[in-house]
Amino acid sequence: LYTAPESCEGRCGEPLSEEDACHCHTECERLGSCCGDYDRHCGPGGFSRSRDSITDRELLEISEQLYGLDHNRARPTDIALNPQHRAGPDETGQGQDLSPQPLYKYVNEELFSKPTYSSFIKLLDNYQRATGREEEVTAEELREQDDFLGEVMKTELMRKLFAFLREKNRYGSEQEFLEDLKGMWFGLYSRGDGEQDSSGFEHVFSAQPDPALGVSLGRVWGFPGQEQLWGGSRSPRSQGSDPPFPRPQWDTFPTVLGLQFSWDGFHKEVGSAFIGSSPEFEIGLYTLCFLARPGRACHLSLGGHSLSIQTFPWTKSTYGSGRRFIATAYVMSP
């Protein structure tokens, strides 16, 4: 279900990469590796212009700009972490709790009163955890989705992302962008038994066990949602965490933590997630990478540090005029 894109839509002139199933650069004709719709999109008269592709350099530039605009990120004094044991490669598969204490020593709960945080938190109890059970979306839950998207679009960070995507001919208006955000993140699709049981938001931000895929990490403020792991500083829910890649100092946020954990009967040997970023920062970066590099590693720069995000589209169903839902998105381990 998770595959690299096989179309040149919006990709004309994109750099050649071995990760891609097919290519949309002018060299692909010589190499015999063009996507099937290369001529339709990128040939003479094609309607997907080369200047609308997002280059690797532009990804580095826009990600640094978004990083600088994350005004709602946690300050160093807002979070105190307790990383405990550093798991080695030979320990990740043991399934033992090597860090028995909560991951978070302290969280400044004033963060939760910020509009994007508070509207994000309201979304976390809207989902059935298990696959195979139809989601029942109420009118109130639909309002909560709209409220969250409305709040993030008020931020300078998301307005910058929209301006960038509009320049790249991805969207003609903010309303079009908002509607597509709602479709790609909150649109329902079936992970099992034909039931409308999943969405990109649930799988990425709320965590969702899947018998075939294991458990999604969810958002780390922690897992299965950043707010829920922060809650873990007052509950045992985070006590299965073993960070394999802790930073020696936690003097700035956002940062990335690699960890393993057990939750709801599932064990994840190695995962990674942002800590200390705002909701708009994380959903903004994932959206950027999903649109620019779906199904492939998306290489970014944050505060001068290299970082990659992997996203995958859901390939079994679509919304709108053939658009793909987000199947998963995650930051790669440092």
Token pair 């996203």 is found at: 311
CA 290 to centroid of chain Cα atoms: 8
Are 107 and 235 a contacting pair, CB within 8 Å? no
Residue 197 has a pLDDT of 67
| Residues of the chain by 3-state class (helix, strand, coil), percent to 5 | 35, 20, 45
pTM of the predicted model, to two decimals?
A: 0.78
Spans of all domains in the chain: 1-44, 56-332
Output the pLDDT for position 74.
Answer: 93
137 token code pair: 């979306």
68 CB-near residues (< 8 Å, 6+ apart): none
pLDDT of the chain along its 334 residues, tens only?
A: 445 678 887 788 888 888 788 998 888 988 999 998 888 888 765 545 556 778 889 999 999 999 999 999 999 899 888 878 887 777 767 767 778 888 888 889 999 999 999 999 999 888 776 665 667 789 999 999 999 999 999 999 999 999 999 999 889 999 999 999 999 999 988 887 678 768 889 888 876 554 444 444 444 333 334 444 444 333 323 333 444 334 445 567 778 877 776 666 666 666 777 889 999 999 999 999 999 988 888 999 999 999 999 998 888 888 887 888 999 899 885 4
Q: So what's the pLDDT on residue 329?
A: 92
| The pLDDT value given to residue 298 | 92
Residues in the chain: 334
Cα–Cα distance for residue pair 257/273, rounded to 1 Å: 6
Please state which CATH number belongs to domain 1-44.
4.10.410.20
